[in-house]
Amino acid sequence: MKLKVDAAECTGHGRCYRIAPDLLSDDDEGYVSIRGQTIDVPADQVELAREAEDTCPEGAIMLIED
């Protein structure tokens, strides 16, 4: 599974990196550090990635099945 963050949609609420701190982190401005990127989600982080996707108010996080 992959996780993608839409840079245009992310407004820096920070819910995602609070839910999945081993997967996501914030940058100096409070945005998720992988904004505009796609990363692999380790098997042990899939449920947290789904929760992060579900809690993003802008829908900026998308999970992509491999």
Q: Over 90: is that where the pLDDT of 34 sits?
A: yes
Going by C-alpha positions, the residue among 59, 26, 25, 66 that lies closest to residue 43 is 66
- Residue 51, by phi and psi: left (phi above 0), alpha (psi -120 to 50) or beta? alpha
Q: Over 90: is that where the pLDDT of 66 sits?
A: no
Residue 62: which H helix or E strand, with range?
A: strand 61-64
Give the whole-number percent of the chain exceeding pLDDT 70.
100
Give the whole-number percent of the chain exceeding pLDDT 90.
97
Single pTM value for the model: 0.90
Q: Which residues contact 56 (CB under 8 A, 6 or more apart)?
A: 10, 13, 15, 16
Residue 50: which H helix or E strand, with range?
A: helix 46-55
Q: Over 90: is that where the pLDDT of 53 sits?
A: yes
Mean pLDDT for 53-60 is: 97
